[in-house]
Each structure stands twice: as C-alpha cells, then as structure tokens.
Amino acid sequence: MTTSFTGAAAAVAKDSSIPTVPSSFSGLKSASTSLLLCKRPQLFRSSAAAQHPSLIRAVSTPVKPDAPVEQKRSKVEIIKEHSNFIRYPLNEELLTDAPNINESAIQLIKFHGSYQQYNRDERGGRSYSFMLRTKNPCGKVSNELYLAMDDLADQFGIGTLRLTTRQTFQLHGVLKKDLKTVMSTIIKSMGSTLGACGDLNRNVLAPAAPIHRKDYLFAQETAENIAALLTPQSGFYYDMWVDGEKVMSAEPPEVVKARNDNSHGTNFTDSPEPIYGTQFLPRKFKIAVTIPGDNSVDLFTNDIGVVVVSDANGEPQGFNIYVGGGMGRTHRMENTFPRLAEPLGYVPKEDILYAVKAIVVTQRENGRRDDRRYSRMKYLISSWGIEKFRTVVEGYYGKKFQPCHELPKWEFESYLGWHEQGDGGLFCGLHVDSGRIKGAMKTTLREVIEKYNLNVRITPNQNIILCDIRQAWKRPITTVLAQGGLLQPRYVDPLNVTAMACPAMPLCPLAIAEAERGIPDILKRVRAVFEKVGLKYKESVVIRITGCPNGCARPYMAELGLVGDGPNSYQFWLGGTPNQTTLATVFKEKVKIHDLEKVLEPLFYHWKRKRLAKESFGEFTNRMGKEKMLELVDKWEGIPQGPSQYNLKLFADKETYEKVDAIAKLQDKSAQQLAMEIIRNFVASNQNGKIE
C-alpha cells in the first residue's frame, strides 16, 4: 500500500504540534445540554500559522477559573442537538404544502437516507425533489426489494435506478408529497434507508460475490453484524415513515451484547442512542470488510477496513484492522486531502464488534465538530499519529491490539460473467455503465429477476450480480440479457469495465462539472487515443470521474482521475493502481474538456513505448514522476512521423544492420530508409506472385 501527501497536507500529517482535537476533550460523554459548557479549544492564528496561512491550528486559550466557555461548533451540531434524536423540525416540515424543506430539516433527512435536490438544467425557478439511498450491507438485495425498487422508480422517480459505489440503490426524483409512501414501501419490502447518509456509519461494504466459502461467508456475516451494531436505536426513522411500527429482523445476540457493553466507558447511559448520543458522529463514517487478496471493496478508502484472517484449513480466526481512509477534499485547500487507511492491529474474531465500537467511540469523542471540512477520522489520525490513536482506542477496547498478519497481494475483483457459487448454483455479474439501470436494460433485468425469483447483489464498482441461478437457466438467461444490452464481459470495452462516475449534473447540488453524463464520450475519446498511439484493445486504465472534489466515485484511487474544478474543466490525478492500493496525486489543474487529447496523447504514447513488462499506466506514471510527465506533455508536438510509427523491425541481427548501414551511408541515407526502398522495389516488381 502506498500513500502520497503534498504541500500542507504532508505538514499536517507529520507535525504533531498541530492537534486536530486535543486528547483531553471528552465533552460528548454527556447527552444533556451541558455539552454547551464543555471546554473546547478556540481557533486562532499562531506565528507558525502565519507562515502557513492554509493551516488551521487548534490550541487552548487561557480562561478565568470556573468561567464557562461555550464550545465552538458547526451549525449542524446545533441542529442535531435540538432535533430530539433526528426528528424536529423534519417531522413538521414534511407536513407543509411547500415542495421543499428548510435548512435544518435538510440536514436531518440525511440520517433518514435522503437528500433534497433540484434540477439544475431547468431555468426560471427550482423544481425540488428528493434522492433516496438504500442501505444494503454487502450489497445484498432480496427479490422482493429489487422488484419494489423497480416499481418505485417508475411510479415515483425518474424511471431509473442507480447502483452506487457503496453497494446501494439511489432513487432520484421523488417528490416531497410521496416521500412517506416510498419510504414505507421500502421498509415493508424488507429494505431500509436508515443511515445511508448523515453523520453516522454508512453502508458496510463486503465482497458482493455469493461464493459459498468460509472466508467469504464470514466476511459478509461480519459486515452485517457491524451494520447492525451501529444502526441507530432511538426509533426516529420508524416514527417518521411507518408511524412507529418497527419492521426489523431479530438481531444476533452477539450484536446486542456488544452494543450494550459499557465496561470501558463507551456508552451513553440511559440514552435511546447508547453509541451515538444526541450528537451522533462528527461526520460520515465508512467501513468495509473483505478477505485477503480481494480488494473489490476499495478497502483503504474507508474509515475502517476489516480483513478476515484464516488458518491453514480456511477457518476464520480473526481480523486485520486498518483505519483512517477517506476521499473527500476541498479545492484550493491543501490541508484537506484524500488518505489511505493504515494498519491498526489484529484482533481475534470474537472481539471484532468491540474493537470497531472502540474506534467509532474514539472518533465520536475526539473528531472535530467545529469545521466539517476537517471532521472525518482521517484528520484525527493524521494529527495524532497512529500510535496515539491506537493507545486511545485500546482504552475503549480494553485490550492491546496484536500486530497485523501478513497478507497476500491485493487484486481488484469485478466478478463479471458467469461463476460457480460453490453450492451447485451459479451467479452472473453484469456490467452497468455508471450504475444507471434504465430503458431496455431495466425492463430486461426486471423480467429475469421476476421470472426466476432471483436475489441480487450490488457491487462497489456500480455493477449487479444475479444470484442462485440453476445450471439449466444459464442459456435462456444469457440470451435474454444480451437482447436487453446486458453483455458478457468479453463484449464490453475494457475501459468501461473499471470506469466509474458519480451522478453529478443535473441533480447533485455540489457538482461543478459533468461526470455520469460526460463519461461515455470521454471513454470513447480515450479509446480513440489508444488506437492512435497503438495500444491494443484489451489494454486498459482505471478511469474515474467526479463532478466535484468530494470523491464519491473514489477518483483519487484511479490511474486517471478527473475531478471537476469548473464548468467543462477537470483536475487530473495520476498514479493510482489497478488493485486500488496506491493514492493518486494531482497532475494538472483546470484542463478543459476540449483539451483532453492534448494531455492524454503524450501520456499514453510514452506509456506504450517506455513501460516495463506488465507495468500498468499508474505504475508507469509513478516511476516516471510528475515533473517528467509534465515535461512530456508540455513538449508534445504530436506522434512522430516516419517508419517507426508502424512498429516494423527490419533487421533480425546486428551484422546485417551494420552492412546495410554502411551501404546506406554511401547514398546519404539511413539503414532504415535503404531497407524500405529495397522492399518497395521488390514489391513493385512482383506481379501476380511472379518475380520479373
């Protein structure tokens, strides 16, 4: 795993004198309004900060003895505190006739799994709607839920379903007046949107493949248990959408036990939210679980990455834990940055829920709540360093972490195509461009899933897997899928297979450039450049595009990441690797979309000619270095003309070349020119296969 920081980001990561939050802060242990009186350092510029104006320093300000100091907090923290556990004023706003809700309710409805949006393509007023996001640990979707989501998209959405990079559905275009109907339908179809957004644990990732093997099954079970452990308990979700009727399956006893355990001071006593309290977490929190070698989940981009460790017989024994990953950043603020998770330690399998809970509580108690740009756990760990972070977590865990176990090399797994499940059944992974299920594809998927009563899985790469298929169904299903445009992977352009894009325009309010709508044309242009410089069709690079720097499609892990930095303009990131273990770095700013080829043509041309054996594009750019790559782009005058562009090898041995070269010099020619002249004369004298 390789990380890369630049500028002030590196300074923040290395300078232990820049604490994001002092370790003494423990004001969140109380769920009462006394939170307002907790001592919290105030922000000001020190002399060091004056030298580095982009850095924010958090230091203690002297106060008079016993003088209460109001904690500096963001507006969202105050909204959460006064919300009666994420109810007010959302409950009142939903009852008004207005098509939209107010700012406080906008923040709260995120916890319920929804964002308010409007169509930015429309002029002359805002047409409000809501995006709903489901929560599907491991990407598991029952037959009943899939069919319900398909119906809801047609009846209340924009007629499409979107598969996300966190193994969930997004349903766009739902009107406020229809929210309760849609939400209640999802809940009663054994689905949920609770916690799909907001300042709490989001959907827990795990390999989507329904492979019946002990490690895969254990990873998926663990992901579901972690999701259950960190699900809100105060009932606000069910109060809002199904009038308090909880539609939930029974929780495993080990989950209930771990949640209720307070032997190390992790819980809010006598609170309806024992782990979250009134304030929940400082920001979103993301977790992924996988097995050694399978990095289909982009493990190192998560706040917590969990890896099953098995013995020689394949029996799961425990877990490696990695912490501190995250993608979001802000343009022109170098003290915001993407970061990869780093090793925390190993725990036996029976301790995983307690260890995860201890990490979450450490972030709850110490993550910044004054400026949401710095509230993710990655900034806490960058400030403290991993050793201090580990020590604090161990206090809540009650044990020491063991060293992480050695693991094999990571690989990206797409699970596209037909595969054996290991239980006699088959599964079929299908590529979906940018995760958007629409048109004939949507109709075809509905037909197959409904006819054969199939369950499905959503992958972290925005694709879908059909599960539990009988051998006899393979041929008819393959035929129907192909007719609907759902092709087997060998018929999909390799560039498309690994590409991802966020929705961006027109509904995302944060987008400043196109992503999903722009990526089809961009991929075609990349393919054209490949052909122009002589790269083969089967060759590919990982391309990810986002409309803003928040990084929803994880562009900072791509070999070529395009991050919107203005209208029709992108920041270029290079250096990610196909197995998603290396962080890309900024290459160029403000590249206009019409100048795409001016940058890509020299990059791909030199990759083809100067790469090492089996060297990926990301590995090549890292080896060459940013300055050299910039030089190649800046000095590019087009593909050199001449015989060399045809990649012909005229001389099989050095002796022949030297003899031809000597003769050529007598005629003021190169050996290559003379050889080509001889060959052309030979061809011209050959008529109908006979030499004259």
Tell me the catalytic residues.
133, 202, 284, 286, 502, 508, 548, 552
User: Which residue from 547, 441, 459 is spatially nearest to 498, judged by alpha carbons?
Assistant: 459
Q: What is the C-alpha to C-alpha distance for residues 494 and 497, in angstroms, rounded to an integer?
A: 5
Residues 6+ apart with CB under 8 A from 263: 398
Q: What is the C-alpha to C-alpha distance for residues 28 and 510, in angstroms, rounded to an integer?
A: 30
Q: In the sheet where 316-323 sits, what is the strand order?
A: 287-290, 304-310, 316-323, 342-348
Q: Are 146 and 468 in contact (CB under 8 A)?
A: no
Q: Are 138 and 208 in contact (CB under 8 A)?
A: yes
Q: Rounded to the nearest 5 degrees, what angle is found at the Cα of 389, between the Cα atoms of 387 and 390?
A: 65
| Pairing, β 500-501 against β 543-546 | parallel
Residue 238: which region, alpha, beta or left (left: phi > 0; alpha: psi -120 to 50)?
Answer: alpha
Could you please report the per-residue DSSP string of 457-494?
EE-TTS-EEEEEE-GGGHHHHHHHHHHTT---GGGS-H
Residue 131, both tokens: 């995006």
Residue 233, both tokens: 């308990």
Say whether 218 sits in a helix, a strand or coil.
helix
Q: What is the C-alpha to C-alpha distance for residues 259 and 369, in angstroms, rounded to an integer?
A: 24
